[in-house]
Amino acid sequence: MSYLLHIDASSLSEASISRKVAQSFRAEWQDPVVHRDLAVSPVPHLSAAGISARITDPAQHTPEQAEAAKLQDELIDEFLGAGAYLFTVPMYNLSMPSVFKAWLDQIMVDGRTLDFANGAPTAGRPAVVVSARGGGYGPGAPNEGRDHLVPTLETIMGWSHTLGLDVTSVTPELTMAPAVPAMAALIPVHEASLATAHDQARRLARDIDQQAA
């Protein structure tokens, strides 16, 4: 395996539950890692120059198109060079942090990472999404059906017509329970969910590493 590409999208640092669970994965990972922290160094949102540069002869690029294309090439080469992926993407307002959507928009390019005729070059590569959320969104929870993050990412990154990754999601829930008095009764459920998430992350790291060996 070449390397693990770890994309962090949590705005929090040490306080981030998503980052902490991702570190459990990293602690078990034995191969090289390329880490991109979008909170520290966010990529810009896709611009008109970035879109038009994709369909314009590089020799005819404006300075703005050339700059946008250079960034896209850097991000795409980094993405394609990985053999496995770890995405730290907490739920913000029922969906993904905007910095992660910006990264996705920069790397999803027909003829590079997307191939609608033959399948993506990354098809079948393992990917783990770690996504902490303040409430509960599983079956039977009051918020069931309101998770617009994990199903979206599993489609964008796992669908055979897009990136085709083999996506597994790790979702520690009820992270607001220790801080919100009205949720205090749910603290044991949160703690159990968090422990399960750490265990799942460690197991996934070992399994993916062994499969690649």
Arithmetic mean of pLDDT over the chain: 96
Whether 123 contacts 164, CB under 8 Å: yes
Cβ neighbours of residue 183 closer than 8 Å, sequence gap 6 or more: 174, 176, 177
Cβ neighbours of residue 200 closer than 8 Å, sequence gap 6 or more: 170
Tell me the average pLDDT across 195-200.
Answer: 98
Q: Count of domains in the chain?
A: 1
Q: Which amino acid is at 199?
A: D
User: For the segment 151-196, what is each residue's pLDDT rounded down to a tens digit?
Assistant: 999 999 999 999 999 999 999 999 999 999 999 999 999 999 999 9
Q: Is the confidence at residue 212, as pLDDT, over 80?
A: no
CA dist 98 and 103 (Å) reads 9
For residue 119, report the phi and psi dihedrals to the nearest 5 degrees: 95, 155
Cβ neighbours of residue 190 closer than 8 Å, sequence gap 6 or more: 172, 173, 174, 175, 177, 178
Query: What pLDDT shows up at residue 60?
Result: 97
Q: Which amino acid is at 28?
A: E
Containing H/E element for 15? none
Instruction: Kindly report the CATH number assigned to the domain that includes residue 85.
Output: 3.40.50.360
pTM of the predicted protein model: 0.95
More confidently predicted of 210 and 24: 24
Confidence of residue 1 (pLDDT cuts 50, 70, 90): low
For residue 115, report the phi and psi dihedrals to the nearest 5 degrees: -145, 100
Query: What pLDDT shows up at residue 199?
Result: 98
Q: Which amino acid is at 213?
A: A
Provide the Cα torsion 204, 165, 102, 117; round to 10°: 180
User: For the segment 105-163, what is each residue's pLDDT rounded down to a tens digit?
Assistant: 999 999 999 998 899 999 999 999 999 999 999 899 989 999 999 999 999 999 999 99
Neighbours of 173 (CB within 10 A): 27
Confidence of residue 213 (pLDDT cuts 50, 70, 90): low
Q: Which structural domain, as residue segments, surrounds residue 144?
A: 4-212
Half-sphere exposure (Cβ direction) of 127: Cα atoms closer than 13 Å: 28
